[in-house]
Chains A and B, each alone.
Chain A
Amino acid sequence: SQKIEQNSEALNIQEGKTATLTCNYTNYSPAYLQWYRQDPGRGPVFLLLIRENEKEKRKERLKVTFDTTLKQSLFHITASQPADSATYLCALRDTGRRALTFGSGTRLQVQP
C-alpha cells in the first residue's frame, strides 16, 4: 500500500541549531514533493517544492533534499528560532494523480 511517513514524535531542539525532518514514502512515483508549515488553528502554508530531477533546493534558512532511490526527502532549518516552532508536512504528487497527498506531519519545537 502507499505510505508517506513522517516522524510522529515531536522534535525538540535548541535555538540556533539545525532542525532536520524526514519524509519517507513507499509505492509512490512522485513527480515532485512539497513541504508545508502548519500553525495551530491555521491552514498549511507552502514552503518549498522540489522536483524528481532535483537533488536539493534552498530558500533562505531552509534546505530540502530529495533522494528518489532512497524514497526520502529531508527538510533542514538552519539557525533555528523559536518562531520556527510549528508542524511541518510533506506532500507529494504521484505521477498517476493530479492532487497532493500529505504526510501526517512532524511537530518542531525550538527552545530559546
Chain B
Amino acid sequence: DAGVIQSPRHEVTEMGQEVTLRCKPISGHNSLFWYRQTMMRGLELLIYFNNNVPIDDSGMPEDRFSAKMPNASFSTLKIQPSEPRDSAVYFCASSLGDAEKLLFGSGTQLSVL
C-alpha cells in the first residue's frame, strides 16, 4: 500500500478563495482523521470519521470549514472562504479502529495570503 495520500502537497491561495484538500486513506482502514498543525497550537484534531460517518467534529473551527467522506477511499476538507489565519499544515490520518496506530499522510502546506 502506498500509505495515506494527500493532495495537493502545497497550496497557496488568496484570502476569500475556496480551498479543497484531498485524502485517500489506507485501504481497509475504517477511521479517518483530519488534523491541523501550527507552531502556536501544535497538532489539533479537526474531525474524525468512522465508517465514512463523522463522529467528532468539535475541532472544526467554524462554519467556513467542512469535511466529507463520500466513500471509504476518499475524503475532502474544504475551507470557504479562506483566511490568512487558516495557514497551517493539514494532515490526514487513517487507522483500523478507533485511533490505534494512526498512519499519517505527508500533509498539505496551506498558505493563505
Contact = CB atoms under 8 A, between A and B. Distances in A.
Contacts, number: 56
Interface string A95-107: 0011111111100
B45 A43 contact: no
A102 B43 contact: yes
Is the interface on chain B under 10, 10 to 19, 20 to 34, or 35 or more residues? Answer: 20 to 34
Interface in A1-55: 32, 34, 36, 41-46, 49
Contact of A43 (B42, B44, B104): B104
A93 B98 contact: yes
A99 B48 contact: yes
A42 B106 CA distance: 5
A101 B45 contact: yes
Given A43-B93, A99-B48, A49 B100 contact: yes
A100 B99 contact: yes
A100 B101 contact: no
A46 B4 CA distance: 13
Given A93-B98, A93-B99, A103-B42, A98 B104 contact: no
A89 interface: yes
Nearest to B42: A104
A98 B98 contact: yes
Nearest to A105: B42
B11 to A, nearest CB: 15
A87 to B, nearest CB: 10
Nearest to B45: A99
A43 B33 contact: no
Nearest to B109: A41
Interface of A: 32, 34, 36, 41-46, 49, 89, 93, 97-105
5 contacts: A42-B106, A49-B100, A97-B56, A98-B56, A100-B99
Interface of B: 4, 33, 35, 42-45, 48, 50, 55-56, 91, 93, 98-107
